[in-house]
Amino acid sequence: MAEEQQERTRQQQAEARAAAQEPAKAGVNPNTMQRALAALEESGLVSAQRNTGRYVTQDEACIRETRRSLAQAEIDAFCARMRQLGYTQEEIATLFGGNENE
C-alpha cells in the first residue's frame, strides 16, 4: 500500500513538472498563464479538479453568455472606431445591415 502511494506521488510530481513546463513551451510567462487560467476559472469556462487537471465547461448557458459578452465588446469597439472616423450612429447601423460577406 505504501508503495502504491509513493508511485502515485511520483506520478503526480512528474505531471506537475510537465505542467510547469507548458507555459515555457508556448513562450508565455508562467505568471501570465496562471492569471489567464484564473480568469477562465472565475468566468466559469474552466474548472480545476484537484490532481486531474483543468476541464472546459460543458455549461451551454455559460458558453452562450460568454460568446454574447465577447461579441458585444467587439461591437462596442467597432462602433467607437467608426465614431472616431466621423460616422453617426445611424450610419453605423446601416453598415451592419449591408454586410455582404455572410
CA-closest candidate to residue 64, choices 88, 44, 87: 44
pTM of the predicted protein model: 0.58
Q: Are 47 and 38 in contact (CB under 8 A)?
A: no
Contact assessment for residue 43 and residue 36, using Cβ atoms and an 8 Å cutoff: no
Could you tell me which residues are beta bridge partners of residue 53? 49
The pLDDT assigned to 24 comes to 67
Q: What is the CA radius of gyration of the chain?
A: 22
Taking the CA of residue 25 as centre, how many other CA atoms within 13 Å lie in the half-sphere pointing to its CB?
6
- What pLDDT does 80 receive? 96
Contact 46, 40 (CB under 8 A): yes
pLDDT, tens digit (0-9, with 9 covering 90-100), for 17-69: 666 666 667 787 888 888 988 898 999 998 888 888 888 899 999 999 999 99
pLDDT at residue 102 tops 70: no
pLDDT of residue 15: 64
